[in-house]
Amino acid sequence: MELTSHLLSILIWLPVAGGCALLAIGDAGDAGSSRAGAMRVTALAVSLLTLLLSLGLYTGFDGTTAAMQFVERVPWIEAIGASYYLGVDGISVPLILLTTFITPLVVIAGWDTIKSRPAQYFAAFLILEGLMVGVFAALDGLLFYVFWEFMLVPMFLIIGVWGGQRRIYATLKFFLYTFLGSVLMLVSFVYLYLQTGSFDLLGWMDAPVAMQAQKFIFIAFLLAFAVKVPMWPVHTWLPDAHVEAPTGGSVILAAIMLKMGGYGFVRLSLPIVPDASGYFSALMIGLSLVAVVYIGFVALMQKDMKKLIAYSSIAHMGFVTLGFFLLWHISGATGAVLGMQGGMVQMISHGLISGAMFLCVGVLYDRVHSRKIADYGGVANTMPAFAAFFVLFAMANAGLPGTSGFVGEFMVIMASFKANFWIAFFAATTLVLGAAYTLWMIKRVVYGEVANENVAELKDMNRREWLVLGILAVSVLVVGLWPAPLVEMMDPTIQNLIERIALSKLG
């Protein structure tokens, strides 16, 4: 029993067990007590240990093959052919690392800002972390669905208990939207199970499916993943959820949960129903461009910082779906690989940048208790160090070369040029729009004269905030300046995926 042979299980169950322990011990409802302090330390220790162990995925990963690695397989419900089947490839490892990387930051960010029931708060995040790793690692359809749905429960509570004014409306909308999206995916899963006799995802990828069924399955998957990504026009839950969620909840939502939609497209839609994916690819590209252009304009008009970042997330995630579905409109494999890799890099990069942006807003919110852009102005005068970080992340959000935001967008736009001038044209508008809405917000919040007394009294970041934003700033620059390790890690898997998609499954 080596550590590596059970590494994925450990990464899933260690945080879940840690979360359950926090729930069991509790904080007696008092955030100031020494018991609550011990809970914080435990939560941080568990999340750091998980991060440390997850590095084993990187060091032990064989980047030359597309095969599943760190595989674990135990029968689970034999009567219906479901198994506890875990494994990772070049697509899932970066996302798992992103999850284990972001969670400790979220724990640190909530350190002394969460006043009510801190033990339950940290427990919810730890359990959520385990479940999210589970989604990225599951290779069994039923197991995937269990993680996918159960993940909603901690997030429902995080938004509902620790959220803002309209938290109940927002969290119910979040839950019901995503639940509605995923139930039809369950019907598709059962259909595929009845066709193949098992819930093995890799088996589903090889099973032939008739075109009509493929179309239905694609649409069911599309509903599930489009809600998660989210794509226009099923994005409306996201601004509400982001605005009302506590900072940590917004960070996890933006940085990781949205990525599950993109992951769903590459792990399920594209390989299981490739013909239908091709059939609907024009629609997908259209919806992605609507997200980029229309939502970009919507973001421009926002008065609430969190809402602005939420809309900017939708626009940036449009690049992910665009990159994935360009494949059918490009002749030659290199362009297809470029688009797909661009989408993947964009997912990781957006995870870092949007998380950082929400943390920046959280820093301001903790001091002024307002998210309104109009309540700020001239923050740079009172918080110079914070302003430097905020501007850096805003530049990254706008896609400045040298930051991670540039790499993914640039790859996708390059791929679009190989497909069609107009796709590239509309995609490239993000360079203008993204800069416009982000930098205009920065201008109004950070620069100018000190706007009011609240801003005049602001104190610059404490050590905890320095630590979190500093780590994120470094990682945004590292991915931006040296994306090669990330791209190389994904390369064989993406090559393999594209070869697989090229084979029709209609047989």
Partner 1 sequence: MDLMNFAAAAPEMTLLGLICVVLVADLFVAPERRIVTFWLSLVSIGITLWALVSTVPVGRVEIFSGSYVSDGLSQLLKSGVALFVAAAFVYGRGNLAANDLHKGEFYVLGLFGLLGMMIMISANSLLTMYLGLETLALAQYALVALDRTDVKSAESAMKYFVLGAIASGCLLYGISWVYGATGSVEFPAIANAILDNPDINGLPLWFGLAFLIVGISFKFGGVPFHMWVPDVYQGARTPVTLYIGTAPKIAALALTLRILIDGLAGLQEVWADMLMIIAVLSLLLGNFVAIAQTNIKRMLAYSTIAHVGFILLAVFTGTPAGIAAAVFYTLTYVISAAGAFGMVILLSRRGHDAESLSDFKGLNARSPWMALMMMFFMFSMAGVPPFVGFFGKLNAINAVLGVGEVGLAVIMVLTSVVGAYYYLRVVWYMYFEEAQDQALLQADVDTRVLMSVNGLAVLALGILPGWLWTLCLQVAQGQ
Structure tokens belonging to residue 312? 């900017």
Under the binding rule (CB under 8 A), the answer on residue 180 touching partner 1 is yes
Indicate left, alpha or beta for 71 from its phi (over 0: left) and psi (-120 to 50: alpha).
beta
The nearer residue to partner 1, 21 or 23, going by C-beta atoms, is: 23
Nearest-approach distance from CB 4 to partner 1, in angstroms: 25
Backbone angles phi, psi at 428, to 5 degrees: -70, -15
CA distance 312 to 145: 28
> Which stretch in 6-14, 99-107, 180-188, 420-428 sits in contact with partner 1 by CB under 8 A?
180-188
CA distance 498 to 278: 12
Looking at residue 22, the DSSP 8-state letter turns out to be H
Backbone angles phi, psi at 86, to 5 degrees: -120, 150
**Residues 13-52: x where in contact with partner 1 by CB under 8 A, - otherwise, as a string:** ----------x--x--x-----------------------
Under the binding rule (CB under 8 A), the answer on residue 175 touching partner 1 is yes
Nearest-approach distance from CB 26 to partner 1, in angstroms: 7
Handedness of CA 64, 60, 264, 403 (dihedral sign): negative
Under the binding rule (CB under 8 A), the answer on residue 145 touching partner 1 is yes
CA distance 303 to 441: 9
Nearest-approach distance from CB 460 to partner 1, in angstroms: 34
The nearer residue to partner 1, 190 or 439, going by C-beta atoms, is: 190
CA distance 364 to 496: 45
Using CB under 8 A, which of 160, 335, 339, 342 touches partner 1?
A: 160
Q: Name 122's Cβ contacts closer than 8 Å, sequence gap at least 6.
A: 19, 22, 39, 40, 42, 43, 107, 110
Structure tokens belonging to residue 192? 């595929």
Under the binding rule (CB under 8 A), the answer on residue 161 touching partner 1 is yes
Q: Name 428's Cβ contacts closer than 8 Å, sequence gap at least 6.
A: 413
Give yes or no for a contact between 51 and 99, defined as CB atoms under 8 angstroms apart. no
Interacting positions 394-453 with partner 1 (CB under 8 A): none
> Which stretch in 138-146, 253-261, 302-310, 479-487 sits in contact with partner 1 by CB under 8 A?
138-146
Under the binding rule (CB under 8 A), the answer on residue 211 touching partner 1 is no
Tell me the site size for partner 1, rule CB under 8 A.
Answer: 37
Under the binding rule (CB under 8 A), the answer on residue 219 touching partner 1 is no
Using CB under 8 A, which of 3, 80, 283, 474 touches partner 1?
A: 80
Using CB under 8 A, which of 67, 176, 211, 502 touches partner 1?
A: 176
CA distance 364 to 386: 9
Nearest-approach distance from CB 84 to partner 1, in angstroms: 10
Structure tokens belonging to residue 99? 């999850």
Nearest-approach distance from CB 79 to partner 1, in angstroms: 5
Interhelix angle 237-244/167-196, nearest 10 degrees: 130
Under the binding rule (CB under 8 A), the answer on residue 283 touching partner 1 is no
Nearest-approach distance from CB 254 to partner 1, in angstroms: 22
CA distance 54 to 11: 7
Chain residues binding partner 1 by CB under 8 A are 23, 26, 29, 76-80, 120, 142, 145-146, 149-150, 152-153, 156-157, 160-161, 167-168, 171-172, 175-176, 179-180, 183-184, 186-187, 190-191, 193-194, 216
